[in-house]
Structure 1
Amino acid sequence: MPFELSVPSTSGQPLNFTIDLGQVLYILGANGTGKSSLLQRFYSNHRAMGRRISAHRQTWFESNAITLSAHSKKSTETNMLNADVHPQSRWKDDYSAARASVAIYDLVDAQNIRARSIADAVDDKDTELALELSKKDAPIKVINELLRLSNIPVEISIQESEQVMASRNGGVKYSIAELSDGERNALLIAASVLTCKPESILFIDEPERHLHRSIISPLLTLLFSKRADCAFVISTHDVMLPLDNPEARTLLIRGCTYQNSNVLNWDADLLEASDGIDDQLKQDVLGSRRKLLFVEGTESSLDKPLYSLLFPHVSVIPKSSCRDVEHAVSSIRDAHDLHWLRAFGIVDNDRRSEAVIAELKAKGVYAVPVYAVESIYYHVQVQERLAARQHEMTGADAGELLATAKAAAIDAVRPHIQRLSERVIEASIRQTLMSRLPKRSDIAQAKPIDIAIDVPTIVAEEVARLTQACDDGDLGTIIARYPVRETSALREIAVRLGFQGRTQYENAVRKLLMDNAEALAALQALFSTLKADIDAA
């Protein structure tokens, strides 16, 4: 029994798809992207078979017993159904207390119906039917199983006068009204799901409210398995929840268009379960823009804040190494289901040949024309602009600042010429070795393969090159070509230009890029056609 869902799109072409019984759809987006409005729209179109669990649900109980008669309960449900189709139900709920009461009523009623069915079978001396009916667990028993598996040490039971009680670790029973906020929330969600009619579609808005993800994730997974006869649509901020259910699809919501207080359309994409990418890449995609830029480094490294400024219309995602960057870009570009994504990558130059750089670029990966990201922060043009700013603020002579910084930086590099030279040729030697590894055709010929690399000569040439750069005062080449971050050179530059240290200097660089469009454009030009390619994608 498929449920038809349609999302009015900002592109003008609606996004139409179906969800069948046993399937799960997550609606994922940040605050203000219209997730709750979309969920309410879906519910309004399927109210006949729908059950809605609101984000602003009340999590406290007025009583631990049934407070509604059968007639008042039915009347209350009708009123709630009528209210829930109105747009204002997204932010206002006149029946918040009644929903908790209805959940308790349904929980007790399901227990009673099961007991009566078994009793009737026994009275009719139909032992076989009684045994068959007893095999189907009551919602209370299922809830206790779910709570236990969800790391909540609480057991629910129904006592005299149809009071719903709780006990912790087998201790004294107490009213469910005394449960913690999170425990009551888990109970309400579970009760609402387990007592709905078969072939229903459930709309759950922000289930993570009041619950830690270590609880809500297993709880939802278990509920899905217990109600395979239903369909689920869940709205959430938590990017990890869809990953915990790999068979689920995810509707990514990036924004919406309002007319007064109503949403007209959404900027959305559907991420299928069978997208062919691993969980880590899927996590990168969830919550990101349509354009992704994978870079080397970590969340705390210098790469991400710099590239976020240089390329403001993409989601910058750090990856540990150049291989990880290449894998991420190729995986997304090769995934048919992710056709709406545009992936790019930036890797350090590492002395790659022009042929290798061109090959990488064809795959969407751009090799930075410098040794590492620090070479961009401390680029000579950046130093010149910061020196000019210091002159404006303090009156210091910009030329003298730059000359002092250059001299101090080169002096810091000289003692490390041998080591820095060896470091920069390490990657190029490895690449040379890899390029000379025998291919299948070479092996088939069964001929000896000799690979010889004159390491001493290569090192000596590099030492001579770096020594000459130091003698010539060519700080630009030194910063661009060598790992000067392994010396005190960068700190010397920062201090000589009037900053307390590298951190303050690097913050000033980012502030410069925010304020100065010319400086921003100059650094963007270092990346070949990447800026233009991103804009055109």
Structure 2
Amino acid sequence: MTFNLTLPNRTRTNQTETLTTDNNIVLIGANGSGKSRLGAWVEQTMQSRLTVHRISAQKALSIPDFAQLKNLEQAEKALLYGRDDQHASVGRKITDRWGSNPTTFLLNDFDKLLSLLFAKSAERDRLHTQQTKAVQSYVPVPDAPIDIIVRIWSDIMPHRQISFNDGKVLVRKEEEPEYHGKEMSDGERVTLYLIGQCLCAPDNSIIIIDEPEIHLHKSLVDKLWNKVEELSQSKLLVYITHDLDFASSRKDALKFWIKSYNGNNLWEWDEVPRDENLPDGLILEILGSRKNIIFCEGENGSLDTTIYQLVYPDYHIIPRGSGQKVIEATKALKGNHNIHHLNVFGLIDSDYKEEEEKQTLLQHGIFTISIAEIENLFCVEPVLRIIAEHLELNSEQKVNEVIDFLIQSLNAEFEVQVSSKAEKIVEYKLGAFSKEANNEQGLTAGLTTTLGRIDIPTIYAQTRTSFQNAIDARSLNELLLIYNRKSLTNRISGIFGLGNGQYDKLLVRLFKGSRKEELIHAMRQYLPQIN
């Protein structure tokens, strides 16, 4: 169904603009960007033309002992307008429903929702009885909202059963006694509340849901809103959220980034750009950043990501997993002209790369660290000395013992390391393949040219020499640049009298203590300066 949604002008003038859409909408922005205020503005602006039912983030979830039984007209007025008498109207909604403070008022209408749910069931039963008497034969019983809630509930919470009897909400867990709805958890109560509110909103209405993920476990959020959307085809759902995961989960929704609120009903906002090479969640994270971006290897919470955040405090660090993912994300973002307010860089491990490949990557803003992989950064000489001094050990002796260990380990797998680096060089040269003409001969000629650049004996000999030179020179820096073996920190723990895995843990403690700046300075010497 198509809706025309009125929004404030994105150029921050006092005009409005109309968005015509068949899709639901997500308004996403950081805390303090004016999202809730915008939701209230949309409600006030549009409610004279059609029903706009807003569910605020500030809501009480207390369930009464018994729902107050009302007729359908009274119950609908109470939920939509905040009162059920002859004075209930859209014009009084801001006072009666929102306490004259539509942005921050604590909405307390669970009792009204339950009254309407029971009223709809009662009205369904009345009409069905009337129809059955008229035809004097069986008439199928249509579902009331309560029946739909029970069905959805069993789908998303299969180990709990919900029932509505005699004005009460009752819940039963498997093989446990039944309990009253007021004893439900926050997650259970908000699930019932959100389903009920969306089902009770009239057809052809706009439903604005502020913080649709609050109180819900992440495993339930998608299931819940997928079900609600399935049952709300005749309604427009407008979600207001700061949760990147939720926003990216609404795959077919239009997404708008609320950048800021400037007072006097003026917002700065724009549509979230799409990029087939960048996941929606990543684009949203980038749009929400006020700092320039560095993509790096690793995962959120990993030690290497923590190090980069400390060394590059003026940048927003986004881990992308593998080095190839870093390269892809950096190139894709640099090529996306819709995201132009930030500079973006990549930072990857050296990982057997030759100087030619590093320089090529640098042209795309992708830097390589001066060691084989980030874990080796924890074994550079200044860091080894800090660890030794902290443990009151002879730092010179410990540095030499680490060098001896690296040489011994490298010699033990010398051919494996040499062949692995040579393999990477060959892969890089093969990656330079391009056809020389748009036909079979052009492809053949291109492959011949590419293979002609690959001299395996020379590559292997040069690689072998570089490894041997590092060993002969007893150069810790060169050894850490060429020796690509994870968990070096675990393997050298014993040199410092530490158990397996204790070296990393000690390093983390020192980063949180008095040697933090000393360690950052030590590591910064081995990381590129990014401007």
**TM superposition score normalised by structure 2:** 0.75
For residue 95 of structure 2, what is the aligned residue in structure 1?
A: 82
Partner of residue 225 from structure 1, selected from 206, 224, 230: 230
1:479 and 2:480 aligned:
yes
For residue 246 of structure 1, what is the aligned residue in structure 2?
A: 251
Secondary structure of the 1:232 match is strand
1:429 and 2:426 aligned:
yes
In structure 2, the CA distance between the partners of 1:466 and 1:313, relative to structure 1 (3 Å rule), is: same
For residue 297 of structure 2, what is the aligned residue in structure 1?
A: 296
How big is the shift at 1:102?
A: 1.5
**Distance in 2 (alpha carbons) for counterparts of 1:337 and 1:247:** 20
For residue 417 of structure 2, what is the aligned residue in structure 1?
A: 420
How big is the shift at 1:415?
A: 3.9
For residue 286 of structure 1, what is the aligned residue in structure 2?
A: 284
How big is the shift at 1:482?
A: 2.5
**Distance in 2 (alpha carbons) for counterparts of 1:283 and 1:297:** 17
Partner of residue 58 from structure 1, selected from 53, 57, 60: 60
Q: What code does the residue aligned with 1:186 have?
A: T
Partner of residue 118 from structure 2, selected from 100, 108, 112: 108
**Distance in 2 (alpha carbons) for counterparts of 1:449 and 1:143:** 67
Partner of residue 138 from structure 1, selected from 135, 140, 144: 144
* 1:430-486 Cα deviation digits (max 9, x unpaired): 222333576555842566938365545533433333223222232222212332547
How big is the shift at 1:191?
A: 1.9
For residue 347 of structure 1, what is the aligned residue in structure 2?
A: 348
Q: Is the 8 A contact 2:294 2:315 kept in 1?
A: yes
Secondary structure of the 2:372 match is coil
How big is the shift at 1:164?
A: 5.1
How big is the shift at 1:247?
A: 0.9
**Distance in 1 (alpha carbons) for counterparts of 2:395 and 2:83:** 76
Q: Is the 8 A contact 2:294 2:317 kept in 1?
A: yes
1:26 and 2:26 aligned:
yes
Partner of residue 199 from structure 1, selected from 198, 204, 214: 204
Q: What code does the residue aligned with 2:431 have?
A: M
Which consecutive residues of structure 1, in runs of 5 or more, have no partner in the other structure? Answer: 533-537
For residue 466 of structure 1, what is the aligned residue in structure 2?
A: 467
In structure 2, the CA distance between the partners of 1:518 and 1:430, relative to structure 1 (3 Å rule), is: closer
Secondary structure of the 1:202 match is strand
Secondary structure of the 1:449 match is helix
* 1:301-340 Cα deviation digits (max 9, x unpaired): 4431222223334432323322222222334444465455
**Distance in 1 (alpha carbons) for counterparts of 2:473 and 2:409:** 15
For residue 535 of structure 1, what is the aligned residue in structure 2?
A: none
User: Structure 1 stretch 16-25 or stretch 455-464: which is displaced more?
Assistant: 16-25
For residue 521 of structure 2, what is the aligned residue in structure 1?
A: 519
**Distance in 2 (alpha carbons) for counterparts of 1:476 and 1:173:** 68
Q: Is the 8 A contact 2:379 2:489 kept in 1?
A: no
In structure 2, the CA distance between the partners of 1:101 and 1:369, relative to structure 1 (3 Å rule), is: same
Structural mapping, 1:11-50, within 5 Å: 18=18, 20=20, 22-28=22-28, 35-48=35-48, 49-50=51-52
In structure 2, the CA distance between the partners of 1:340 and 1:351, relative to structure 1 (3 Å rule), is: same
In structure 2, the CA distance between the partners of 1:45 and 1:271, relative to structure 1 (3 Å rule), is: same
**Distance in 1 (alpha carbons) for counterparts of 2:424 and 2:56:** 56
**Distance in 1 (alpha carbons) for counterparts of 2:202 and 2:455:** 77
In structure 2, the CA distance between the partners of 1:142 and 1:339, relative to structure 1 (3 Å rule), is: farther
Secondary structure of the 1:2 match is strand
How big is the shift at 1:277?
A: 3.0
For residue 372 of structure 2, what is the aligned residue in structure 1?
A: 371
In structure 2, the CA distance between the partners of 1:4 and 1:256, relative to structure 1 (3 Å rule), is: closer
For residue 3 of structure 1, what is the aligned residue in structure 2?
A: 5
In structure 2, the CA distance between the partners of 1:366 and 1:316, relative to structure 1 (3 Å rule), is: same
**Distance in 2 (alpha carbons) for counterparts of 1:17 and 1:474:** 66
**Distance in 2 (alpha carbons) for counterparts of 1:189 and 1:428:** 57
In structure 2, the CA distance between the partners of 1:313 and 1:198, relative to structure 1 (3 Å rule), is: farther
In structure 2, the CA distance between the partners of 1:389 and 1:298, relative to structure 1 (3 Å rule), is: closer
In structure 2, the CA distance between the partners of 1:362 and 1:155, relative to structure 1 (3 Å rule), is: same
Q: What code does the residue aligned with 2:280 have?
A: K
How big is the shift at 1:427?
A: 0.8
**Distance in 2 (alpha carbons) for counterparts of 1:174 and 1:519:** 60
Which consecutive residues of structure 2, in runs of 5 or more, have no partner in the other structure? Answer: none
In structure 2, the CA distance between the partners of 1:243 and 1:493, relative to structure 1 (3 Å rule), is: same
Q: Is the 8 A contact 2:128 2:141 kept in 1?
A: no
Structural mapping, 1:391-410, within 5 Å: 402=399, 405-406=402-403, 409-410=406-407
Secondary structure of the 1:309 match is helix
Secondary structure of the 1:286 match is helix
Q: What code does the residue aligned with 2:358 have?
A: I
**Distance in 1 (alpha carbons) for counterparts of 2:238 and 2:490:** 56
How big is the shift at 1:246?
A: 0.3
1:444 and 2:441 aligned:
yes
Q: What code does the residue aligned with 2:115 have?
A: Y
Q: Is the 8 A contact 2:467 2:482 kept in 1?
A: no
Q: What code does the residue aligned with 1:60 have?
A: S
In structure 2, the CA distance between the partners of 1:8 and 1:311, relative to structure 1 (3 Å rule), is: farther
Return the structure number with greater helix share: 1
Instruction: Give identity over the alignment, percent.
Output: 19
Secondary structure of the 1:194 match is helix
* 1:384-422 Cα deviation digits (max 9, x unpaired): xx737976x788776666556545544554444443323
In structure 2, the CA distance between the partners of 1:251 and 1:315, relative to structure 1 (3 Å rule), is: farther
How big is the shift at 1:428?
A: 0.9
In structure 2, the CA distance between the partners of 1:412 and 1:442, relative to structure 1 (3 Å rule), is: same
Partner of residue 184 from structure 1, selected from 186, 189, 209: 189
User: Structure 1 stretch 403-412 or stretch 281-290: which is displaced more?
Assistant: 403-412
How big is the shift at 1:376?
A: 3.5
Q: Is the 8 A contact 1:29 1:287 kept in 2?
A: no
